[in-house]
Amino acid sequence: MSKVTVVDHPLVQHKLTLMRDINCGTKDFRQLLEEIAMLMAYEVTRELPLEEIEIETPITKCKSKIIAGKKLGIVPILRAGLGMVDGVLALVPTAKVGHIGLYRDPETHLPVEYYCKLPMDVAERDLIVVDPMLATGGSSIAAIEFIKRRGYKSITLMCLVGCPEGIEAVQKAHPDVNIYIAAIDEKLNENKYIVPGLGDAGDRLFGTK
């Protein structure tokens, strides 16, 4: 079974509270989401393997550590995942960025795919899929399925707010995918929105509706 890590760093929790507030406007919402994504990326990348290389400082030659192994890719689930990309890129500027377009059908609440473009070098990349909301889990599950179908094997999911139902669904569908999340809320309401949640992340991020 995959690991679920709640990123409970005080800065993350503080910024998330500001975002949840109904009075938080688009500009602040966007900025806070980017900042939280950066802080969470610090945790997600904590266990990247290191290797020693030899370098020369102005003083002497020495061995020093750099990140070893595969390179990273970031895959936002459109639209709201876009708001997390720059935060991750601030820490990992060389990461490539793929995109998956999905929306939840308002009647069935099931994800509908409309776009998918991923980095080509499948074998070389560890992917971080980013989406602020993990509600039923349908969108994340579908996105990860599309990614796996294209050959990617090393995938981590990074979300802001989830609920037990959605997390369990992702764990069941993709037991190999570890999840990083800032908060696990109480439940879903009858419209499959997270309670208390923060409302519709895409609309709040882009000022639509």
Least Å distance, CB 198 to ligand URA, is 7
Q: Which of 83, 98, 166, 197 binds ligand PRP (CB under 6 A)?
A: 166
Catalytic option among 26, 108, 150, 208:
108
Least Å distance, CB 132 to ligand PRP, is 6
Q: How many residues bind ligand URA (CB under 6 A)?
A: 8
User: DSSP letters of 25-57?
Assistant: -HHHHHHHHHHHHHHHHHHHTTT--EEEEEEE-
Check: CB of residue 4 under 8 Å from CB of residue 181: yes
Residue 149 annotated in active site: no
Which amino acid is residue 127, in one-letter code? L
Catalytic option among 28, 45, 86, 203:
203
Question: Could you identify the residue written with the tokens 């919402």?
Answer: 29
Which amino acid is residue 24, in one-letter code? C
Check binding of 80 to ligand PRP (CB under 6 A).
yes
Site for ligand PRP in 124-163 (CB under 6 A): 131-140
Residue 121 annotated in active site: no
Residue 104 annotated in active site: yes
Check binding of 171 to ligand PRP (CB under 6 A).
no
Q: Which two tokens stand for residue 29?
A: 């919402």
State the distance between the two ends of the chain, measured CA to CA, in whole angstroms: 38
